[in-house]
Amino acid sequence: MSTKTKACPMCGETILAIAKKCKHCLEYLEINDESSVKEHGEHLAGEQKINLWTRAELNKLKKEYSKTDTKDLAVKLGRTLEAVRFQAKKLHLKKTKSYMQSLYKEASKLAAKKTTEKTTEKTTKKAAVDIWTKTELSMLRKEYSKTDTKDLAVKLGRTLEAVRFQAKKLHLKKTKSYMQSLYESQRKIVQSLYEPQRKIESKPDNEETYYTIKKILRMKLPVKLDNRVRSIIEKVFFESIKYMEKEECEYVYSRINKKVKATARAKAAWIVQLSEFYSVLFKACEQHNKKSLLSDNAHNLICAALLYFIDPFDIIPDHTLGTGYVDDFYVLQLCLGKIKRKDADILNELFKKIKE
């Protein structure tokens, strides 16, 4: 076997003189004799033919790669972009610093254009917002400290939130005299609301009705409940208030009459009295549905208490001897303890009818 060597015309590495393909760059070498051409053709018959790089193409690649765009150079050479990049990497060719700087400048220009387009879009969106004029701002500075914000918003043709936001932005505040006048006006309104209630309290006829709820709250339970049981009943009752809706109230109205009649027949006097108290709560709900006398909070409290009273299998089941309705009595006290004065007056008048 011959040991003569030569340099590969493609990569310059040393290979055998009789080699037909370089073992370093895997490129096929130029073939001169006819026998080798036949052998080379037979070798490529089963494989895909490779478009070999000529010396002219390689020289052009070495000259122009460092300064020109790779895509343009691939078009000139009639090669793919990947083939040009692979051959340049194989020949250790690199771009010059000046060319890379020019590429960086072009990229920065494109980024600047995109940012300007985004800013223009934002400015157009902001332009759609009703911007405050100088006259409006001067009017706001003059009148904000002394006038009502709602009236000022109507004058300016702005929303209340917009006026408040702009005043906060300009660090505007109300004067002390204006805030004192507001406080006095609100105090008079509150006094006017509670004056008729105080007159009712002073009357001897209504004194008993006003303290009816208080009397129920002061009543001792027939059987003492542990603190643990009380905490469980409170959790169940107050959580049920959150889920009171029309369907639950309608279910209560359909079942309460049977429950009241059943408890009214009980032998224990306190259970009979308990049924009368719950019948009063049911009457208050009926009046509320017709005339909407009670507040929503009071209505939800009463419906939740009635729902607990209807359930026979509550915390302490109703069929347990002696203590079956103690938890229902405690729920009644919890319900009445959370009712406010206006709603309490309506309930007290209904409790008065029972005592009479």
* Tens of pLDDT, residues 253-299: 888 989 988 888 888 888 888 888 898 888 888 888 877 778 888 88
What the block records as the tokens of 47 is 């494989």
Q: Is 7 helix (H, G, I), strand (E, B) or coil?
A: strand
Residue 265 dihedral angles phi and psi, to the nearest 5°: -90, 0
Provide the pLDDT for residue 11.
Answer: 73
Confidence (pLDDT) at 335:
92
Specify the pLDDT at position 203: 42
d(CA 238, CA 334): 9
Check: CB of residue 70 under 8 Å from CB of residue 99. no
Q: pLDDT tens digits for the chain (356 residues)?
A: 567 888 887 777 888 888 888 888 777 776 554 444 444 445 444 444 567 889 999 998 999 999 899 999 999 999 998 889 999 998 999 989 888 888 888 888 888 888 888 887 766 655 556 788 999 999 999 999 988 898 889 989 899 899 999 999 999 998 888 888 887 877 777 666 555 444 444 444 444 434 478 888 888 888 888 899 999 999 999 998 888 888 888 888 888 989 988 888 888 888 888 888 898 888 888 888 877 778 888 888 999 999 999 988 888 988 888 788 999 999 999 999 898 888 888 888 887 766 54
Residue 139 contacts by C-beta under 8 Å, 6 or more apart in sequence?
155, 156
- For 342, the token pair is 């206006």
**Residues whose CB is less than 8 angstroms from the CB of residue 94 and which lie 6 or more positions away in sequence, other chains included:** 66
Q: For residues 340 and 329, what is the distance between their CA atoms, to the nearest angstrom? A: 19
Q: What is the pLDDT of residue 286?
A: 83
Tell me what pLDDT residue 331 has. 92
Angle at 284 between CA 278 and CA 288, to 5 degrees: 145
Domain extents in the chain? 176-206, 211-355
